[in-house]
Structure 1
Amino acid sequence: MKRTFDIALSLFLLSICAVPMLVVAVAVQLTSRGPALYWSDRVGRDNRIFRMPKFRTMRIDTPAVATHLLNDPSRFLTPIGGFLRKSSLDELPQLLSILCGDMSFVGPRPALFNQDDLIALRTEKGVHRITPGLTGWAQINGRDELPIPVKVDFDAYYLQHRSLLLDLRIMFLTFVKVLRSEGVKH
């Protein structure tokens, strides 16, 4: 049922967002050097690596590490990168990952391939067995502000309590948080 929901909603949203996504892609290209999309190696279900697309918000010379590990992340942002991150428009290409089955709408956010501490804790708690999501329980409870052990505890809570009702609640609360730009640090 969840997979059917993911396919139907991603197709619907892709049809609605096609023109806005084209506008964002052109804006990224016009305001900075490099491609409009950034393909990030991420850890998916069962710790399998997949390539996740995002609209590029950072300069092409940015090190491939989690943003919070950069000394001054703002110096790497493209001219529209901050806006894309605050508005979460940079996440729209992930609708393609949902359509392909690498992601779901709700689940733990996919870790970067080199976030060994996060991957190890998720594996220890069994969180690696579920498909990562565009949003999740940790995102609505702190997003970028959470330390890794707390984030994994929220992920484990989701693993133990997942249901269609919880997914719908998380999606609604995500929409509210995105509108308010809550929990975005970089």
Structure 2
Amino acid sequence: MRRRTGIGLALKRLIDVAGAAAGLLLLSPALAATALAVWAVDGRPVVFRQVRPGLRGRPFTIYKFRTMRPPRAGEVWYRTDEQRLSRLGRFLRTTSLDELPELWNVLRGDMSLVGPRPLLLEYLEIYTPEERRRHDVQPGVTGWAVVNGRNALPFRERLRLDCWYVDHWSLALDLRILLLTARQVLRRANAAAVEDDSALGFPLADVAAESKRRRETDTATRGDQ
């Protein structure tokens, strides 16, 4: 594993702050227009918030433009993405405009411009010790897995590529990923609006079952107090 020096990490943070601040400033018209479009077409809330694991697995709140309506009664959230995705949301996802609020996460220090994409908090329970190493660095707006397949990559392959990034991190690699990301966004390469999570091996059913079990256990525990 390549050793991450204090100077290297400080430079990475400096680039993150400068890049995120410049991005928020230069893209403010796009941010404002997107927020107005979501409000006009899909209503409130405009921004989607969700707790995700960050550095060392510590939770933080990620910000994105909302692209879906909430699940209705009887709808299973991970099986109804296609039905709940709005027409505007599909456009925002394929153009990556929905990710722009994450620049605020970068400015706050929750995320980096480059790093493993932050996945669901519940996945922490099913990672192997090797896969957990993806949290040895800050999550990123883009990353090595993103530029090597993005939405087309199977779940375990994404984790493997994330660990490769952890082992090979450098400022030069980050710059390469940023350039590849810019090309990818312009071409809308591998930018599917909805993933086939089952085909890609995402363990969402296991995650949902574990979340339900935890809620029931918490409820029972509170009832015994």
Conservation of the 8 A alpha-carbon contact between 2:131 and 2:163: no
**Residue 57 of structure 1 aligns to a residue in which SS?**
coil
1:168 aligned to 2:178? no
Amino acid at match of 1:135: T
How far off its partner does 1:120 sit? 1.8
**Identity of counterpart residues, as a percentage?**
39
Amino acid at match of 2:13: R
**Residue 61 of structure 1 aligns to a residue in which SS?**
coil
CA RMSD of aligned residues (A): 1.8
With 83-92 and 148-157 compared, the bigger mean Cα shift is at 148-157
Amino acid at match of 2:163: A
Change (3 A) 1:123 1:4: same
Q: 1:131 aligns with which of 132, 138, 142?
A: 138
Determine which structure has more spread, i.e. the larger CA radius of gyration.
2
Conservation of the 8 A alpha-carbon contact between 1:37 and 1:53: yes
How far off its partner does 1:38 sit? 0.4
Change (3 A) 1:29 1:167: same
Q: Hey, what does 1:152 align to over in structure 2?
A: 159
In 1, distance between residues paired with 2:143 and 2:113? 8
Q: 1:56 aligns with which of 66, 69, 72?
A: 66
Amino acid at match of 2:37: A
Q: 2:20 aligns with which of 7, 10, 14?
A: 10
**Residue 43 of structure 2 aligns to a residue in which SS?**
coil
Amino acid at match of 2:94: K
Alignment of 1:91-130 (within 5 A): 91-116=99-124, 120-121=127-128, 124-130=131-137
Note the residue ranges of structure 2 that are not aligned, 5 or more in a row: 1-10, 195-225
Q: Hey, what does 2:200 align to over in structure 1?
A: none
Q: Hey, what does 2:209 align to over in structure 1?
A: none
Residues 159-180 of structure 1: CA distance to partner in whole angstroms, max 9, x if unpaired? Answer: 1111111101101111111111
**Residue 173 of structure 1 aligns to a residue in which SS?**
helix
Note the residue ranges of structure 1 that are not aligned, 5 or more in a row: 64-68
Amino acid at match of 1:137: W
Q: Hey, what does 2:50 align to over in structure 1?
A: 40
**Residue 166 of structure 1 aligns to a residue in which SS?**
helix
Count, aligned residues: 180
What TM-score does the superposition give when structure 1 sets the normalisation length? 0.90
Conservation of the 8 A alpha-carbon contact between 1:62 and 1:76: no
Residues 57-108 of structure 1: CA distance to partner in whole angstroms, max 9, x if unpaired? Answer: 0113379xxxxx7334221112300000000000000000000010000000
